Amino acid sequence: MSDSRPIGVFDSGIGGLTVVKALRELLPNENIFYLGDTARVPYGGKSASTVERYSIEMTDLLVVEDVKAVVIACNSASAVALPKLEETLSVPVIGVIKPGAQAALAATRNQHVGVIGTRATIKSGAYERELRALNPHVRVSACACPLLVPLIEEGWLEDELTDRVIARYLGPLVHQGIDTLVLGCTHYPLLVHAISRALPKTVSLVDSARNCAMAVKKLLDRQSLHAPRDSEGTLQVALTDAPDTFLGVARRALQLEIGKVQLREVLHPAKL
């Protein structure tokens, strides 16, 4: 059996394209429809109820595209909206928290894991809950890094100011003795080189985007949802507002070929 419908992926901005890149490398036969909520980026500083509402509106748009599965390529949305989406969506849905937590526990040697993310992700405690559910003895040190997403969206990936901000955020985690760091925001892999410079070589980095892609592959295997083996996967990108720096950052940092970007109006409940 095969299913040529696209995999739907959404995020608040460009960060989720790190998941798209990982999916393209791992599942080259799959069609992908990516939706970036650039009109309302970032989600990380907003309340849990607002992030949940935005996530429902984004998945409503993906359902219109007849997707066969939904990937929440946003840690903030995964942290607060996944249970609601699992309950309401008619297609399978995957977030980035659980795959990242599983990979962190496989990587850590001293059972002390650091997590960086947006305020919404860190405040939710989602990574701590998932990590401790898998290993009650793990020690977790978490740090909200609200300045990183705007710097990434601005394209300041190799910049002295960005390096200084990263060092300010990561210094306390290194001092506390972490040996593994979860990049708990799908934007953050775009800063992997800068983040690595701020860490001792003994600290392992866990990329939630790559681990999310592997979880998607397992889902397609389980539910026989793979596209035909002889097909060549396509990528469609839609945004809720004009791209601004979006395309330049994506092409430069991820080497993704993005064609014409579509615009989508958010479907508020009153319009449905």
Q: For residues 111 and 192, state if they share a domain.
A: yes
Same domain, 249 and 120: no
110 and 171 in a single domain? The answer is: yes
Identified catalytic residue from 143, 145, 185, 212: 185
Q: Could you tell me if 202 and 137 lie in one domain? A: yes
Residue-range definition of the domain harbouring residue 39: 7-95+210-271
**Is 1 inside a domain boundary?**
no
What is the total count of domains within the chain?
Answer: 2
Domain boundary among the residues 193, 208, 223 is at: 208
Query: pTM for this structure?
Result: 0.89
**What residues contact residue 260 under an 8 Å CB cut-off, 6+ apart?**
none
Note if 185 is an active site residue. Answer: yes
Last residue of a domain, one of 208, 239, 258: 208
Same domain, 197 and 135: yes
* 111 & 121 share domain: yes
Q: Which of 185, 208, 231 is the last residue of a domain?
A: 208
pLDDT in tens, the chain (272 residues): 799 999 999 998 888 999 999 999 999 999 999 999 989 988 888 999 999 999 999 999 999 999 999 999 999 999 999 999 999 999 999 999 999 999 999 999 999 999 999 998 999 999 999 999 999 999 999 999 999 988 987 889 999 999 999 999 999 999 999 999 999 998 899 999 999 999 999 999 998 888 999 999 999 999 999 999 999 999 999 999 987 776 777 777 788 888 889 999 886 654 44
In terms of domains, do 223 and 198 share one?
Answer: no
Whether residues 148 and 160 share a domain: the answer is: yes
Contact indicator for 207, 99 with CB cutoff of 8 Å: no
Contact 217, 26 (CB under 8 A): yes
- The answer to whether 11 and 214 have CB atoms below 8 angstroms apart is no
Q: Does the active-site annotation cover 74? A: yes
> Is 201 a domain residue?
yes
| Per annotation, catalytic residue among 74, 143, 145, 212 | 74
**Same domain for 70 and 105?**
no
